[in-house]
Amino acid sequence: GAVVSQHPSWVICKSGTSVKIECRSLDFQATTMFWYRQFPKQSLMLMATSNEGSKATYEQGVEKDKFLINHASLTLSTLTVTSAHPEDSSFYICSASGGEPDTQYFGPGTRLTVL
Amino acid sequence: DAKTTQPNSMESNEEEPVHLPCNHSTISGTDYIHWYRQLPSQGPEYVIHGLTSNVNNRMASLAIAEDRKSSTLILHRATLRDAAVYYCILPLAGGTSYGKLTFGQGTILTVHP
């Protein structure tokens, strides 16, 4: 149980385009989903927290107009990187909680490469 | 936020037990202790969590010191698939930060055949 999927697993795009990443909780309802970013050789950095049906809460330094988060249902959250640039290339990971209190279940990650 | 301190790296041999330490001297009475691990090129994986008592599950055991200022993740028989970065985290509790995880650098575990 407690499986979280992400799609796509990897994406390559041109600079200036937008990319949408989906995060789904497959066997439980996720009241809260989190989005992280991880650069090579570094630890995960939390970008934002989203609760179903409400606006996401962004961490300091994360541009909410650039990283659009939608959490429209208890099983789906999306992260859209708008006008992507090479410096946005990173490993984006989502997690979901709700299946068991205080525990987050992570997706496999999406590797974004912006050319 | 209660901070955790872990060794940068540890090594083990296959099929031997591994004890991964974590110090959290500023832990509060309601802070849970969580362990996650991240295999290369994958998202983190929940391992175990506890509050005061020692905990066991199919993956590992968590031994929590009586004063709760430190804990140890125990892998009873390490396998090559246990090679990963292990994170000891105290999730934030309360308000809009509830459940938020702050990842440190973790401990890189190398398992030798």
Mean pLDDT along residues B59-67: 96
Mean pLDDT along residues B78-89: 96
Please determine, for residue B87, whether its predicted confidence score (pLDDT) is greater than 70.
Answer: yes
Residue A2, CA distances (Å) to A27, A53, A84 in order: 6, 21, 31
Read off the pLDDT band of B5 (50, 70, 90): very high
Closest CA to A95 of A61, A45, A54, A53: A45
Please determine, for residue B94, whether its predicted confidence score (pLDDT) is greater than 70.
Answer: no
Can you read off the two tokens belonging to residue B50?
A: 């506890």
The pLDDT, as a whole number, for residue A101 is 58
Residues of A in contact with B91 (CB under 8 A): 102
Number of alpha carbons in the 13 Å side-chain half-sphere of residue B53: 2
Residue A38: how many other CB atoms lie within 10 Å: 19
Torsion angle of C-alpha atoms B27, B33, B37, B43, degrees rounded to 10: -90
- pLDDT tens digits, one per residue of A42-70: 999 999 999 888 889 999 999 999 999 99
| Nearest residue of chain A to residue B94 (CA atoms) | A102
Chain B: closest CA distance from residue A70 (Å): 17
The pLDDT, as a whole number, for residue A95 is 95
Read off the pLDDT band of B93 (50, 70, 90): low
Instruction: Return d(Cα B67, Cα A110) in angstroms, integer.
Output: 40
Residue B67 sits at φ, ψ, to 5 deg, of: -85, 0
- pLDDT tens digits, one per residue of B6-43: 999 999 999 999 999 999 999 988 888 999 999 999 99
User: How many contacts (CB atoms, under 8 Å) link A and B?
Assistant: 58
A44 touches chain B (CB under 8 A): yes
Closest CA to B20 of B70, B90, B92, B57: B70
B37 touches chain A (CB under 8 A): no
Chain A interface, best mutation among B38, B55, B58, by max A CB count within 10 A: B38
Please determine, for residue B64, whether its predicted confidence score (pLDDT) is greater than 80.
Answer: yes
Mean pLDDT along residues A15-31: 94
Instruction: Check A107 against B43: CB less than 8 A apart.
Output: yes
B103 touches chain A (CB under 8 A): yes
| Nearest residue of chain B to residue A94 (CA atoms) | B43
B42 touches chain A (CB under 8 A): yes
